[in-house]
Amino acid sequence: MTFRISRRKFLSSAAAGAGVIAMPHLSRAADRPAVSHGVQSGDVGLDSGVVWARADRPSQMLVEVATTESFKDARALPPIAALPESDFTAKMLLENLPSGQDIFYRVRFRDLAHVNVIGEPAVGRFRTAPADRRDISFVWGGDVAGQGWGINPDDGGMFTFATMRKYKPDFFLHSGDTIYADGVIPSEVKLADGKLWKNVTIPEKAKVAETLDEYRAAHKYNLLDEHVRAFNAEVPIFVQWDDHEVTNNWSLSKQLPAAYKERDVNVLAARAARAFHEIYPMRESIVEPGRVYRTLSYGPHLDVFMLDERSYRGPNGANQQTSYGPDAYFLGPDQLAWLKRALLNSRATWKVIASDMPLSIIVYDDATNKKGSEAFAQGDGSPRGRELEIAEILRFIKTAGIVNTVWLTADVHYAAAHYYNPNKAQFQDFDPFWEFVSGPLHAGTFGPNELDNTFGPEVKFIKAPGADKQNLPPSAGMQFFGHVKIDGATGQMTVTLRDRADTELWSTTLDPKPV
């Protein structure tokens, strides 16, 4: 049961709380703990949201929350520790917030040894989910700092984040590849026209990430960008992960390249997962600590189902099995059962399935030799291997009478819109639906890839560089994100694919069926 309180009750409880944090006078900023990488919020719901910050030393995080930008009648929350064990990061769940309300939060850090020594504040905001049927707007994409394309101030930095910020979205759905832990960020890259791309660099990005601190550094590298920090302070993140948070195309069968001294992919995955959960404002599961898949409800019009297609998969082999078993797992039985229950229980107008990999775009484990399976798609024909899970969930959606499902994804570094038509499919026991692909947000642009006809995808739009122009830098302009708007009155969903210059590439409006 969701507990909701009005803005008036929120303010009255704030007045009865601990009050505004007093600021001592100190002569030097260096004497005080500082917010080192900006603030973030995430996993926002009707009456709550998670806030995050990192300190530059052992300290306590002090958070104030208010419904006005002036922080009049702000509510001060109990302090929580930011210690070396978590790389000085801390996150807090803010609860008992009014629905559909702009929430302002202010973060300071207090020295552990000297309780009167408090640093300067960093301010952020988010909007709680609406209890009524109002307009909703959000953006999505993936793939950041890949292929050696890091922060280049001469090119405007990670400029796509500035473009997305202009839409003042309710939240940002990050579809994974939040970092490229397996990728080096060199100081310079020579472009095809002879010009130089010049990266901001840090020592840890001169090699592949293997240690916990190297994984942490890869995430913190992105937070050096001013556009990312400004975006994070205003737009809550709904985040999932994919392969590059650990290493390229990782699964239990991964044979690590010679660049890795650590030879056990499970050890790398454990370190990577810890860094990932430290750096993002996620609601953490007490059922399965470290779990990424979850349902995020954003009012009567929208539920978002965040998938994890990495943690439970079987080996990246040929995946041609005709019966379901551990080698064919992609979501895995437990996550598959959760998704069915969550979809069945949803009363939202739209059910957005956030998939970190596309359904029918073929992604090879060995791209050079076109061998092995990295994604769902196994090639033309009836469902095999990992496609058995997709067949199962699509059949379930149809049989259970679940309507208005839309799949959003990234991963392949180009933009596309696919309409899934059972009349064109090899497996036909499903209702038609849409899948939209965006990204990269700031990485090399690739594609297009081959399409698998198993589920009958029809390409309604595609923007990719072509086979003769792969790994284009961000300066080429082919950086893509998606924007979704749900009309509060009609429930119509408009999906628009855009580039970093904010050019509208393609758009469609979907009419909802009655729920």
**Residue that is last in its domain, among 127, 152, 167:** 127
Q: Are residues 91 and 193 in the same domain?
A: no
Q: Are 433 and 405 in contact (CB under 8 A)?
A: yes
Dihedral of CA 281/286/289/292: which sign? Answer: negative
Q: Are residues 119 and 203 in the same domain?
A: no
Strand segments (E) across 21-88: 35-42, 49-55, 59-66, 75-76, 80-82
Q: Are residues 145 and 277 in the same domain?
A: yes
Q: Are residues 468 and 490 in the same domain?
A: yes
Q: Which two tokens stand for residue 114?
A: 């000297």
Strand partners, 53: 39, 90
CA 508 remoteness from chain centre: 23
Q: Which two tokens stand for residue 127?
A: 């909007």
- Determine, yes or no, domain membership for 175: yes
pLDDT of residue 27: 45
pLDDT of residue 20: 41
Q: Are residues 264 and 401 in the same domain?
A: yes
CATH of the domain at 405: 3.60.21.70
pLDDT, one tens digit per residue, over 44-63 is 999 999 999 999 999 999 99
- Determine, yes or no, domain membership for 515: no
On the question of pLDDT at 486 being above 60, the answer is yes
Give the full edge-to-edge strand order of the sheet including 294-297.
294-297, 302-306, 350-354, 405-409, 433-437, 415-420, 457-463
**Residue that is last in its domain, among 127, 146, 168:** 127
Taking the C-alpha atoms of residue 419 and residue 412, their distance in angstroms, rounded to an integer, is: 17
- Determine, yes or no, domain membership for 152: yes
Q: Are 430 and 420 in contact (CB under 8 A)?
A: yes
Higher local confidence (pLDDT), 18 or 515: 515
The mean pLDDT of 161-183, rounded to a whole number, is 98
pLDDT of residue 30: 73
- Determine, yes or no, domain membership for 412: yes
Question: For the chain, what is the domain count?
Answer: 2
pLDDT, one tens digit per residue, over 14-30 is 444 334 444 444 446 67
Taking the C-alpha atoms of residue 24 and residue 147, their distance in angstroms, rounded to an integer, is: 46
Q: Are residues 68 and 49 in the same domain?
A: yes
pTM of the prediction? 0.94
DSSP string, 473-503: -GGGS--EEEEEEE-TTT--EEEEEEETT--
DSSP 323: S
The mean pLDDT of 160-183, rounded to a whole number, is 98
Average pLDDT, the chain: 94
- Determine, yes or no, domain membership for 1: no
pLDDT, one tens digit per residue, over 375-415 is 999 999 999 999 999 999 999 999 999 999 999 999 999 99
- Determine, yes or no, domain membership for 236: yes
The mean pLDDT of 171-177, rounded to a whole number, is 98
The mean pLDDT of 475-495, rounded to a whole number, is 98
Taking the C-alpha atoms of residue 429 and residue 393, their distance in angstroms, rounded to an integer, is: 10
DSSP 368: T
On the question of pLDDT at 363 being above 70, the answer is yes
Q: Are residues 36 and 152 in the same domain?
A: no
pLDDT of residue 10: 46
Percentage of residues of the chain with pLDDT beyond 70: 94
Q: Are 480 and 444 in contact (CB under 8 A)?
A: no
Percentage of residues of the chain with pLDDT beyond 90: 92
- Determine, yes or no, domain membership for 273: yes
Q: The domain containing residue 436 runs over which residues? A: 136-510
CATH of the domain at 67: 2.60.40.380
Minimum mean pLDDT range among 8-12, 266-270, 345-349, 360-364: 8-12
Strand partners, 436: 408, 417
Q: Are residues 167 and 95 in the same domain?
A: no
Q: Are residues 367 and 347 in the same domain?
A: yes
**Residue that is last in its domain, among 78, 106, 127:** 127
The mean pLDDT of 173-183, rounded to a whole number, is 98
pLDDT of residue 29: 66
Q: Are residues 305 and 227 in the same domain?
A: yes
Q: Are 312 and 334 in contact (CB under 8 A)?
A: yes
Q: Are residues 252 and 331 in the same domain?
A: yes
On the question of pLDDT at 313 being above 60, the answer is yes
pLDDT of residue 24: 44
Element (H, E) at 294: strand 294-297
Q: Are residues 84 and 143 in the same domain?
A: no
- Determine, yes or no, domain membership for 454: yes
pLDDT of residue 252: 87
Question: Helix, strand, or coil here: 268?
Answer: helix
Strand partners, 434: 406, 419
Nearest to 302 by CA among 126, 170, 439, 395: 170
pLDDT of residue 25: 43
pLDDT of residue 85: 97
